[in-house]
Amino acid sequence: MVACMPSPDTSEVPLAPTPAPETVAEPVVDPISTEPTDENGIPVADITSVAVTGEAGNYTFAVTISSADTGCEQYSDWWEVADVETGELIYRRILAHSHINEQPFTRSGGPVPIDPDQNVIIRAHMGGLQSNYGGQAYGGSVSSGFEPVVDSLSSLETVEPLPTGCAF
């Protein structure tokens, strides 16, 4: 015969305290700026690299730009090659749309009709509500290479060809 016994009374047994969960602090990380500005906080388009292929008088430039694009109201609308000595526009690559989700971006253009030893400046232009140059430019020649320089050339904002609109 099996005897049934009542369950022990646990209402009086103290429970062990549940430890409080540890507070885990997330690291604070400063975001890397992908929206270059000049010393006054105005959005600019920086040239970050230049690669050249081709032959004298018929070069193709691949120019990488980092710009503070927000849409058609603010985007890098061209990059250009200008002669250092004369300040004249040699070549301009029109950019037909903003590059909000593609930063930095590279666009090629040509033919750029220069001699291998001709000194030029490659610079980008920010179009839209605050149309301006002012970003990092590159200078040099095909034979010596290109490196970051201070852009001392006059504005060529009214010299053709110019953009006729922005696709998106």
| pLDDT on residue 9 | 55
Supply φ then ψ for residue 163, to 5 degrees: -65, 145
Q: Is-above-0.85 flag for pTM?
A: no
105-112 sheet: strands from edge to edge:
45-55, 58-67, 105-112
| pLDDT on residue 33 | 42
What would the pLDDT profile of 137-154 be if each residue is shown by its tens digit?
A: 999 999 999 999 999 999
| pLDDT on residue 13 | 53
| pLDDT on residue 15 | 54
| pLDDT on residue 133 | 93
Q: Are 93 and 119 in contact (CB under 8 A)?
A: no
| pLDDT on residue 163 | 94
Instruction: State which residues of the chain have pLDDT below 50.
Output: 2, 4-5, 18, 21-33
Q: How far apart are CA 160 and CA 168, in angstroms?
A: 22
What would the pLDDT profile of 20-43 be if each residue is shown by its tens digit?
A: 544 444 433 333 345 688 878 889
Secondary structure class of 131 (helix, strand, coil): coil
Secondary structure class of 97 (helix, strand, coil): coil
String of DSSP letters for 43-79: B-EEEEEEEEEEETTEEEEEEEEEE---BTTEEEEEE
| pLDDT on residue 61 | 98
